[in-house]
Amino acid sequence: MLSGKVKWFNNAKGYGFILADGRDEDLFAHYSAIQGDGYKTLKAGQPVSFEILQGPKGLHAINIQPLGSNARLHTSEG
């Protein structure tokens, strides 16, 4: 797994871009590649881990997992 930060993500369109640590090329990030239950979204600057897949129009981030304090946690406490 690689790590990086979300460059930007548009909730209405369901996609954005991630900048991998140590790389210059942006990686396409689609909401369907975000791991977890519930509403799948990312925020600019949010740290993430992911894998890279070569798509027809460039590199895609897949198996995206939000990291750190910005990660949304689902609990049954209420």
pLDDT band at 18 (very low <50, low <70, confident <90, very high): very high
pLDDT for the residue 36: 85
Q: What is the pLDDT of residues 30-47, one digit of tens each?
A: 999 999 888 899 999 999
pLDDT for the residue 4: 97
C-beta separation of 71 from 40 below 8 A? no
CATH class of 2-70: mainly beta
Whether 61 has a pLDDT exceeding 60, the answer reads: yes
pLDDT for the residue 76: 41
C-beta separation of 50 from 64 below 8 A? yes
C-beta separation of 18 from 11 below 8 A? no
Sequence spans of domains, the chain? 2-70
Give the mean pLDDT of 8-35: 96
